[in-house]
Amino acid sequence: MHPRILEVTDRLIARSRATRERYLAQMAAADSQGPHRGALQCANFAHGVAGCGSAEDKQRLRLMNEANVGIVTAYNDMLSAHQPYEHYPELIKQALRQVGSVGQVAGGVPAMCDGVTQGEPGMELSLASREVIAMSTAVALSHNMFDAAMLLGICDKIVPGLMIGALRFGHLPMIFVPGGPMPSGIPNKEKAEVRQLYAEGKATREQLLESEMKSYHSPGTCTFYGTANTNQVVMEIMGLHLPGSSFVNPYTQLRDALTAEAAHQVVRLTRQGGEYTPLCRIIDEKAIVNSVVALNATGGSTNHTLHIPAFARAAGIQLTWQDMADLSAVTPTLAKVYPNGQADVNHFHACGGVPFMVRTLLEAGLLHEDVYTVAGHGLSRYTQEPFLDGERLVWRQGPEQSLDRNILRSVPEAFSPEGGLRVLTGNLGNGVAKVSAVAPEHQVVEAPARVFETQVDLAEAFKAGELERDFVAVVRFQGPKANGMPELHKLTPYLGILQDRGFKVALVTDGRMSGASGKVPAAIHVSPEAWDGGPLARVRDGDLIRVDGVTGHLQVLVDDIAWNAREIAPRPQGTGVGCGRELFAFMRAAFSPAEEGASAFTAELDSLR
C-alpha cells in the first residue's frame, strides 16, 4: 500500500474513533432486535402487510426465515437519469419472489434535476434537497419491516442523501441500484461551444435548443462526468453496486439482469441469507478513503468535497478537506472524461471503465483491497465486468489494458501524477478547485476583483461589456446559510468566452459549481462564507486577488492592517423567498460549514453519545 494512503487512513481512524465506536454500538443495538417486523404488535404488522398484493407475500412476511426487502426509490420523470426506475419495483419484486423473498416499496424520496433548476430559483433548494432525501429515506425505513433495503437513486444530491439516511439504518444489508447513462448524443464539447456562441449572440435560440435536445435526448443519466456519474464511481468503488454495473445503459437486457441480480444478492446478505453483511460493515474508513482516491483518479465532481464528508459523518467518520487534499496529491489522474476531456461516460465504460481503474489502482497500492462489499470481501472482485452468456448473467475479468489511452490510462502512464481536486487556502478562507478541467496556462490567475452578490449581476455586467479585461469574479453570499449554496454553472459560458478572448479570468465564491463545470479556474465552497462574516465579505472591487491552482493559495493582496480594518459587507436583504425557499430557512440556519459537508445534521451526528 502507498504510505500516504495508509497514513491518511490511520489518522482518519484515530480522529473518528469516538464517533465511529458510538455509531457501531448504535447499529449493533438496532441489529440485536432482529427482523423487527417479528416484534411488531399485530395491528402494526397487519398495517405493514395489508398492502401486499398476494397472499403468498403476506404469508412469507409472517415467516421470519424469509427476507423482506424495502425498496427506497427516487423515481420521477424530471430526471432523465431516474426515469428508468419507473418499472424497477415490479422487476425487483419478481426477482425477490424467485428466491422466496418479498419486496415492498418502503417509500419514495424527492429528486431534483440540477439541470432543470440550473440558474433558476429552485437551485437554491438543491443542496437542502440532499437533507430532505436523507430524512425521507429514514421515514421509509422507519417502518422497520425490513431485513434489507435496495436504494434507487443516481443523481447529484440523491445518492448522498440516500447514503446519509441509509447509514442511520446501517445494521441492515443494503445495495444501491444504478440505472445507467443515456446513449451518447452530440459531444459535450460541441454542446458547450453552441452555448458560448448563443451567449455571444452568434447562435439563435432555436440553434441552442436543437443542440441541447441532441445532447440530452433520452432516459438515462447525462453522459458528462458530473456529480451524478461521479456518484456512480464512488458507490461502485465503495462496494455498494454490483461490480461493473454503474455504466450499463438503461432499457437493456444486461441492465435488467443486473437489477434482478442486485435483488438476489441483497437477500444473500441478510441474516436469513447466511452472509450477513450490514451497510455499516461496508462503509468504514477504508471505504471512505477508497472513494476519495476514485474521486481524484477520475477528476470527479467538486460537489463530492461536500457529499463525502457529509455521508462519512453519518457513519461516524470524520473526513476533512486536508485528508482529501493529501490523498489527491498521491492519486494520479487516470481519466479524461468531459469536462476533463472530450469523452463521455459511455466511452469511459467502453474502454475499460471502473473495472480497469480498480485494477490499476489496486496494482499501484492506491486502494484498500481488504474491504467488505455487497459482492463479498475483497475489492479485487471489482476488476470484473458483467455480461450475458445467453440468458445467464456472468462476470469475467475486465480488460488488462485500457482500450483507449486518450480516455483512460493505467497508473504508470497517468495523465497527471496527482488528482483533479485541489484544496485552496489563504486569507480569503479555504476553498476547493477542480484543476483537472483547467488548462495549465489558466491555473494561476492574479487580477483585480470585481464583486457580485448574485450570478445575474455578473451576466448583466458581461452583456453590458464591462468584463472585457483580466479580473477575478468574486460572487459572494452564495454559501449554505446565505441562500442554500446553489451551483453557479450558468456563469461558465460567460467566463469561458472571456477566457477564450485571452483575458485572465477566475471565479471565487462561497457557492458551488456543477460537476460539469470546467475550463475556468474557480475557487469554490470558500469557507467561512460571507453570510457568516467570512473574508469574502471584506473584498472590494479592484482588490488584487491571486487564485493559484498550482500551489493551492487563495490570497487577497491587500495590506493586513487595511484589510483587518475593513467593514464587512451587509447581508443582502429579501433573499430566500419564493419557489418554496422560505420553507427551508430553518435548514439554511443549521447548515455546517462547507468543509464539514454543508450539512444540517453535522452538529447532531457529532454530539451523539
Ligand X SMILES: O=C(O)[C@H](O)[C@@H](O)[C@H](O)[C@H](O)COP(=O)(O)O
Binding site for ligand SF4 (CB under 6 A): 79-81, 113-115, 155-156, 221-222, 226, 228
Picked from ligand SF4, ligand X, none, the partner binding residue 80 (CB below 5 to 8 A depending on kind) is: ligand SF4
Picked from ligand SF4, ligand X, none, the partner binding residue 510 (CB below 5 to 8 A depending on kind) is: none
Provide the grid cell at 87. Answer: 418499472
Residue whose C-alpha is closest to residue 511's, from 487, 546, 537, 535: 487
Stretch that binds ligand X, among 14-22, 114-122, 384-392, 584-592 (CB under 6 A): 114-122
Is residue 226 involved in binding ligand X (CB under 6 A)? yes
- Please compute, for residue 208, the number of CA atoms within 13 A of its CA located in the half-sphere on the CB side: 13
Q: Which is nearer to ligand SF4, 108 or 535 (CB)?
A: 108
Cβ within 8 Å of residue 200, ≥6 positions away:
497
Q: Which is nearer to ligand X, 248 or 306 (CB)?
A: 306
Stretch that binds ligand X, among 224-232, 367-375, 407-415, 501-509 (CB under 6 A): 224-232
Question: Exposed, middle or buried by CB within 10 Å (0-12, 13-18, 19+), for 91?
Answer: middle
Is residue 487 involved in binding ligand X (CB under 6 A)? yes
- Figure out which of the listed residues 16, 68, 227, 455 binds ligand X, where binding follows CB under 6 A: 227
- Please compute, for residue 116, the number of CA atoms within 13 A of its CA located in the half-sphere on the CB side: 12
Picked from ligand X, ligand SF4, none, the partner binding residue 487 (CB below 5 to 8 A depending on kind) is: ligand X
Is residue 118 involved in binding ligand X (CB under 6 A)? yes
- SS3 category, 548: strand
Picked from ligand SF4, ligand X, none, the partner binding residue 262 (CB below 5 to 8 A depending on kind) is: none
Q: Which residue is nearest to ligand X (CB)?
A: 226
Residue whose C-alpha is closest to residue 474's, from 454, 498, 459, 492: 454
Q: Report in angstroms the alpha-carbon separations of 406 from 334, 339, 419.
A: 10, 14, 17
Stretch that binds ligand X, among 202-210, 225-233, 304-312, 459-467 (CB under 6 A): 225-233
Q: Which is nearer to ligand SF4, 146 or 225 (CB)?
A: 225
The minimum distance between CB 228 and ligand X, in angstroms, equals 5
The minimum distance between CB 227 and ligand SF4, in angstroms, equals 7
The minimum distance between CB 224 and ligand SF4, in angstroms, equals 8
Q: Report in angstroms the alpha-carbon separations of 323 from 11, 328, 411.
A: 9, 9, 21
User: What's the CA gap between 548 and 523, in Å, rounded?
Assistant: 9
Is residue 73 involved in binding ligand X (CB under 6 A)? no
Picked from ligand X, ligand SF4, none, the partner binding residue 529 (CB below 5 to 8 A depending on kind) is: none
Is residue 602 involved in binding ligand X (CB under 6 A)? no
Q: Confirm whether residue 155 is marked as ligand binding.
A: yes
Chain centroid to Cα 116, Å, comes to: 17
Cβ within 8 Å of residue 364, ≥6 positions away:
2, 332, 411, 412
Q: Where are the alpha helices (DSSP H) in 364-507?
A: 455-463, 480-483, 492-500
- Figure out which of the listed residues 228, 366, 447, 536 binds ligand X, where binding follows CB under 6 A: 228
Cα-trace Rg, the chain: 24
The minimum distance between CB 33 and ligand SF4, in angstroms, equals 37
Cβ within 8 Å of residue 121, ≥6 positions away:
578, 579, 581
- Figure out which of the listed residues 286, 476, 489, 525 binds ligand X, where binding follows CB under 6 A: 489
Q: Which residue is nearest to ligand SF4 (CB)?
A: 115
The answer to whether 517 and 436 are in contact (CB under 8 A) is no
Is residue 548 involved in binding ligand X (CB under 6 A)? no
The answer to whether 558 and 468 are in contact (CB under 8 A) is no
Is residue 124 involved in binding ligand X (CB under 6 A)? no
Picked from ligand SF4, ligand X, none, the partner binding residue 221 (CB below 5 to 8 A depending on kind) is: ligand SF4
Q: Which of residues 494-533 bind ligand X (CB under 6 A)?
A: 514-516
For helices 88-98 and 253-268, the axis angle rounded to 10 degrees is: 50
Residue whose C-alpha is closest to residue 572's, from 517, 510, 525: 510
Place of cell 426515469: 83
Cα of first residue to Cα of last residue in the chain, in angstroms, is: 34
Is residue 491 involved in binding ligand X (CB under 6 A)? no
Q: Which is nearer to ligand X, 296 or 303 (CB)?
A: 303
- Figure out which of the listed residues 66, 124, 131, 156 binds ligand X, where binding follows CB under 6 A: 156
Q: Confirm whether residue 222 is marked as ligand binding.
A: yes
The minimum distance between CB 164 and ligand X, in angstroms, equals 18
Q: Which is nearer to ligand X, 426 or 515 (CB)?
A: 515
Provide the grid cell at 235. Answer: 458507490
Q: Which is nearer to ligand SF4, 345 or 498 (CB)?
A: 345
Chain centroid to Cα 495, Å, comes to: 25
Provide the grid cell at 180. Answer: 445507467
Provide the grid cell at 484. Answer: 442554500
Strands 421-424 and 505-509 turn out to be unpaired
Q: Report in angstroms the alpha-carbon separations of 452 from 365, 476, 491, 572.
A: 45, 6, 12, 11
Is residue 339 involved in binding ligand X (CB under 6 A)? no
Q: Which is nearer to ligand X, 124 or 385 (CB)?
A: 124
Stretch that binds ligand X, among 3-11, 222-230, 372-380, 582-590 (CB under 6 A): 222-230
Picked from ligand X, ligand SF4, none, the partner binding residue 272 (CB below 5 to 8 A depending on kind) is: none
Residues annotated within a binding site: 155, 222
Residues annotated within a binding site for [4Fe-4S] cluster: 155, 222
By CB under 6 A, name the binding residues for ligand X. Answer: 114-115, 118, 156, 226-228, 301, 303, 487, 489, 514-516
